[in-house]
Structure 1
């Protein structure tokens, strides 16, 4: 029986739990094998890239960052760059995808090939253009992925909507700005790029940031137009305090929750606490959210009993929220980012 293969990316440190998660939720698995530092191939009897994308959207799967439907795998050291282009061209013709494609080339682990990632993209793009394709880095409805691993190169073709991320391998690259006050900003900034958390809420509305100091997430929210209440007994960066609409309340999250009767469009929480405590705080905070308001929290699982901690946290959160999105983003470290929508 012919099987289906899907290439997926995940954090290198999360490989064991990512594999366990796939084995738990994909019933027809034949094999899950690691092919690179941050990549694996799932082989299944029937489950393909669209099925896995649906599982990720329904939030049984939180560790895959990028998916692609494998159409070819070969020894890149023996074949060279020309073989990449020929395989991509053949795959496109077999898939009958039309003449407009996004081309993504990414690396997973140390490789021995003798051309750069940029050389590979430029060479493949040039030849595909000569053969009648309109090639972009992003924006097309169909994406061609070429992943170089230590032993093989893997070519995938599928719809962008099934890829989970429009970035090659799900590797969202963000640059530090002069205004940045903390590394934690990258997590919220990445979330805004990969999931439309503003949909259905007032982008000029009121936001609450628990554990705000030194003010990174508050800065991101204020920059998007939210009137932001920053709750933390510690100090905020002076530049954040000067931003329009920012109010610093010097207290703990628990004290604020007990004493406040304000209503917010968005509540965010990146505090260092166990997933069950973080989840209970968000459930208790639901009364501060407007109907269908949005909450964002990071669940800091560490590296032990990860899936069990996530299960427990989701069960707690389900008392007040729909879980709209949950994923280990590139800028997460031993944690996942969760987007919640309060029941109406």
Structure 2
């Protein structure tokens, strides 16, 4: 081993002992405790500390990084949104000095080079008294430019992750698929369109991406609780025939579109034909119990093999028990749950992706 490689190994060992791994873990705001519980159920004892109030944790696991990543990715966690390994850690308050040290570590890793595509993801906690994350990212790119790597926003071979607090910096290098999300911190960003009806559209866009769906492959959808029409508008854009159901008003811009049928009633009052739709979506602020009753009462209208995308509101302090109960109820009603996930655009809710069998 060369002198440079020995130095690099010493740095890594400062953070991770043999058979141990360290991660910066991120969940939606106020849900970090449930992400921590998911890790505890996977690994038993979990050492953690809060890096940013209510959403970012520093977690130490008594297993190798490779095994930890495998278990986390395979478990498809609901609340754990993003992980980054920690290979380099430095305490201090001078962001410039910390970033320069982290850049030296990254350059010494041997992973960057000509033709290698690299995404730089820099985040900071609220107490980090420094430049903005975007400015720090630009600075890091300059520090790493000698590597001759190609810096990209998507399609990277490697992600270099930096998390900066008011007293320390944490850095890691990983494959995109090993971070749970290839977006920085799992924060999926969509550009707001002119005339967009509601922010809720982003939830369905993210669900399409997260669950590997292509809504344009469906033919006919029913949108339960459609008003003002964010989800309906996306499905119409994808070329589906959409039946939008809500006693409230849809946005006027949708009403003359040729593939839209608007029924201004409560969904429970309508009699649909059997197997009328191959997609059922629902994003309503109802209690989970009422939501399950409503959706299961409409399942005759969803064809076998059809897809259901449902948001479930987490209305009390035991969300994991509630989710287990809701999933059991749906699976008793011929819906097989493929994924349950708290998306970045979810708030006090999760999204279920289900297929009727």
TM-score, length of structure 1 as denominator length = 0.88
In the alignment, structure 1 residue 217 sits paired with structure 2 residue 231:
yes
Question: What residue in structure 2 maps to residue 313 of structure 1?
Answer: 326
Tell me the distance in 2 between the aligned counterparts of 1:107 and 1:291: 47
- SS at structure 1 position matched to 2:290: helix
Alignment partner for residue 106 of structure 1, among 123, 139, 148?
A: 123
Aligned pairs (5 A) from 1:277-288: 277-288=290-301
Q: Which residue of 2 aligns with 1:11?
A: 28
> Match for residue 302 of structure 1?
315
SS at match of 1:13: coil
Deviation at 1:335?
Answer: 0.4
- After superposition, the Cα gap between the structure-2 partners of 1:20 and 1:212, relative to the gap in structure 1 and judged at 3 Å, is same
What are structure 2's unaligned runs of at least 5 residues?
1-17
Q: Could you give the per-residue CA deviations for residues 140-175 of structure 1, whole angstroms, max 9, x where no partner exists?
A: 132221122333221122221122222100112234
Q: 1:104–1:137: 8 Å Cα contact kept in structure 2?
A: no
Deviation at 1:94?
Answer: 7.0
1:36 aligned onto 2:36: no
Bigger Cα Rg: 2
Higher relative contact order (CA 8 A, sep 6+): 1
Q: 1:245 to 1:272 in 2, by over 3 A?
A: same
Matches within 5 A, 1:79-94: 79-90=97-108, 92-93=109-110
Question: Structure 1 pair 236/27, CA: closer, same or farther in 2 (3 Å)?
Answer: same
Is the 1:6–1:49 contact (alpha carbons within 8 Å) kept by the matching residues of 2?
no
What is residue 217 of structure 2 aligned with on the other side? Answer: 203
Query: 1: CA distance between counterparts of 2:264 and 2:249?
Result: 8
Selected match of 1:180 from 188, 196, 206: 196
Q: Is the 8 A contact 1:36 1:150 kept in 2?
A: no
How far has the Cα of 1:31 moved from its partner? 0.8
CA deviations over 1:88-130 (Å, ceiling 9, x no partner): 223x42799x8332221123333113x3322322222233231
Question: What secondary structure sits across from 1:311 in the alignment?
Answer: helix
Partner of 1:292: 305
Cα RMSD over matched residues? 2.4
For structure 1, list consecutive stretches of 5 or more residues without a partner in the other structure: none
List per-residue Cα deviations over 1:206-257 (Å, max 9, x = no partner): 011001111111111111111110011221111011233111012212122x
Q: Secondary structure at 2:31's aligned position in 1?
A: helix
What secondary structure does 1:29 align onto? coil
Q: Which of 52, 69, 85 is residue 69 of structure 1 equivalent to?
A: 85
Give the CA deviation at 1:43: 1.6
2:186 match: 170
Q: Secondary structure at the match of 2:106?
A: helix
C-alpha contact (below 8 Å) 1:269/1:296 kept by paired residues: yes
Q: Distance in 2 between matches of 1:99 and 1:152?
A: 28
Contact preservation (8 Å) 1:53, 1:67: no
- 1:29 Cα deviation (Å)? 3.0
Structure 1 residues 259 and 189 mapped into 2: Cα distance closer, same or farther (>3 Å)? closer
| 1:202 to partner: Cα distance | 5.7
Instruction: Pick closer, same or farther for the CA change 1:275–1:131 going to 2, 3 Å.
Output: same
Q: Which runs of structure 1 show a deviation greater than 6 angstroms over 4 or more consecutive aligned residues?
A: none
Give the total of aligned pairs: 333
